[in-house]
Structure 1
Amino acid sequence: MPFDLSLSYPQWQGSGRYANLPRGAEAAAEICGRLAPLVQVPPAHDEVDDELLHGVHRWQSIFTQFRSAQNILASSGARRVLTAGGDCAVDVAVIDYLKGVHPDLRVIWIDAHLDANTPETSPSGNFHGMPVSAILGRAPGPMRPYLGKPLEPARFRYVGIQVGDDGDWELQRELDLQRLAPQAAIDGPVHIHFDLDALDPLEFPYVAYPDGKLRIDDAIALVGRIAREADLVGFTVTEFAPANEHEARAGSRVIERLCEAAVAPPSQAK
């Protein structure tokens, strides 16, 4: 089904390798804006601010953008949200909003990385390594009063994970976070988080952390299957990091195919 809102959320401050993320976020937003009305989260301009607060680098800019995104979403009334990031942490605000609209929301987290560190366990302090822990109730202290009830771990599934720090695996074991079984039935309202670094870099090299192994065609087939079987209420594309305009155009073609799979009717989903 069509999305009600495209959210351009060009946050780069959560990443440890952020140089090309603004270019990628702009290209992804151009694709998403064709599919639903586009609204942009105002970017924070703090290129010289690398202060570590609450265990997170560039915390103030991240928190400011988080609150802006929350306000935009709350005033939109949207029930289905397509999001163009930015780094992975943009999905904290989006998932929190969609869970408020759809209390039985399920989350499919497609990523090469677990993203389950907390401010206490993260070796880097980069917030794009913490969004899974945040949506499951382990967000930085100042963010927690602005978040609703945490997602239940049983309603969360990983796809494509390859890499994690000790803190990631510790939380995965503690909460028994599971991978999505290949033929598992998927129903109810679902949000897909799609970090493009889940893709095999031999096919999609336009990322800052090329650790994925997922083939592009397999990824498109999975998104299409979820769109057919479930009620896909959210789809977020993140971590697109093209080094130049040529790479931006090449990578955008893949993003376009993924988004088309998310919105196509059953007979057309790829």
Structure 2
Amino acid sequence: MQLDISLIGVPTDIGAGARGASMGPEALRVAGLAAVLESHGLRVTDRGNLNGPANPWLPPIEGYRHLAEVAAWNQALHTAMHAELRQGRLPIVLGGDHCLGIGSISAVARHCRETGKKLRVLWLDAHADFNTASLTPSGNIHGMPVAVLCGHGPEPLTGIGGQTPAITADVVRQIGIRSVDAGEKRLVHEAGLEVFDMRYIDEMGMRHTMEQALLGVDENTHLHVSFDVDFLDPEIAPGVGTTIPGGPTYREAQLCMEMIADTGRLASLDVMELNPALDVRNRTAELAVDLIESLFGKSTLMRKK
């Protein structure tokens, strides 16, 4: 496990349908993220917040809301993320809405091309985020990042990172999905995305789900986790803009994170869509920090190292 951690705050809700995710980075800091990681012997440097355009809160143009602004934020994140990876550090993106997965994962994919690593992306989310402008009436780009990364979308987004598509669908494993639009569902199937939805988790259990999602991860794998906080059941995590009932319980989420930690391959992390404006006494941020701690080795069992 890489001991040098960089926190990168990206305070924007530019791709979202509700305001407030721009306050997510500060909520995670208030919940003590840096101190919690340091308690595990990790060396944490908080790089502060990236800067980008304000949210103009306009209707979509040709199917995309705030395309230029979304591209600017994601380009800034791509550059920052890539710089951290080149220094051999483990970057944690403090989002921000999930459109930022475009900048983050395109940087990780670029780093993997440069270093000859295999990429595995675990997309923990209630939504498949595989929409396109023709499929979504809202035009909110936080519903599109996986599609964009796989080459479906406008060039200002698909071209970030210098290669289109940035990734192929076979590197992604989606976990916890329970809200997919009809047209989006068709596109997901066509792309061959591997999805472990909530029915799969209900039937097979989280342990089997994670065993399947982590299959083939080895010492040459860069494991990237993109954690949308709405992955969690809203009963335990109310502070998100798009709550979908029926998500993983606290224990299921803990097991998911612990099994990722067990691989020893986690190399970059996104924490997205935390919305303090909709939270209760920063409870969701504190839960997110608790789960991140499990990603970095906190175990509920007295396990011998």
Q: Scaled by the length of structure 2, what TM-score is found?
A: 0.79
Q: Post-superposition shift, 1:78?
A: 4.3
Q: Does 1:61 align with 2:61?
A: no
Contact residue 87 and residue 238 of structure 1 kept, 8 A: yes
Secondary structure (helix, strand or coil) at the match of 1:38 reads strand
Aligned pair partner of 1:162 in 178, 202, 206: 178
TM superposition shift of 1:192? 1.0
Query: 1:230 deviation in Å?
Result: 4.7
CA distance in 2, matches of 1:225, 1:128: 27
| Mapping 1:128-143, distance limit 5 Å | 128-143=142-157
- Greater mean deviation of Cα atoms: 161-170 or 23-32: 23-32
- Cα RMSD after superposing both structures: 2.4
Give ranges in structure 1 of 5+ residues lacking alignment.
none
Among candidates 121, 144, 148, match of residue 135 of structure 2:
121
Task: Number of aligned residue pairs: give it.
Answer: 266
Alignment gaps of 5+ in structure 2: 38-43, 197-207
Instruction: Work out whether residues 11 and 62 of structure 1, in 8 Å CA contact, stay in contact via their aligned partners in 2.
Output: no
Question: Cα 1:97–1:60, aligned 2, differ >3 Å: closer, same or farther?
Answer: same
Q: Could you say which residue in structure 1 is the equivalent of 2:53? A: 44
The answer on whether the counterparts of 1:54 and 1:141 sit within 8 Å (CA) in structure 2 is: no
Please state if 1:75 is matched with 2:75: no
- CA–CA separation in structure 1 for the residues paired with 2:4 and 2:280: 28
- TM-score, normalised with respect to structure 1: 0.88
Of the three residues 100, 105, 128, the one matched with 1:90 is 100
Look at both structures and tell me which one has the larger radius of gyration over its CA atoms.
2
| Equivalent runs, 1:1-270 vs 2, <5 Å | 1=1, 2-18=3-19, 20-30=20-30, 31-34=32-35, 35=37, 36-39=44-47, 40-47=49-56, 49-53=57-61, 55-76=63-84, 77-79=86-88, 80-103=90-113, 104-147=118-161, 148=163, 149-180=165-196, 182=209, 183-184=211-212, 185-186=214-215, 187=217, 188-212=221-245, 213-243=247-277, 247-248=281-282, 250-264=283-297
Contact 1:81 1:234 in 2 (8 A): yes
SS of the residue 1:4 aligns to:
strand
CA–CA separation in structure 1 for the residues paired with 2:55 and 2:274: 20
- Give CA deviations for 1:155-190 in whole Å, capped at 9, x if unaligned: 111111011112321211101211245132441221
After superposition, the Cα gap between the structure-2 partners of 1:125 and 1:41, relative to the gap in structure 1 and judged at 3 Å, is same
Equivalent pair of 1:227/1:263 in contact (CA under 8 Å): yes
CA shift for structure 1 position 82: 0.9
Say whether the 8 Å CA contact 2:24–2:94 is kept in structure 1: no
Contact 1:15 1:128 in 2 (8 A): yes
How many percent of aligned residue pairs carry the same amino acid?
Answer: 23
- Residue deviations 1:190-246 (CA, integer Å, cap 9, x gap): 111111111111122122211041112211221121121251111111111123785
What letter matches 1:61 in structure 2?
E
CA distance 1:210–1:46, shift in 2 (3 Å): closer
Distance change (3 Å), C-alpha of 1:51 and 1:200: closer
Aligned partners of 2:157 and 2:108: how far apart in 1? 17
Residues of 2 paired with 1:121 and 1:244: CA distance? Answer: 27
Equivalent-residue separation in structure 1 for 2:13 and 2:170 (angstroms): 30
Moved over 6 A (4+): 265-269
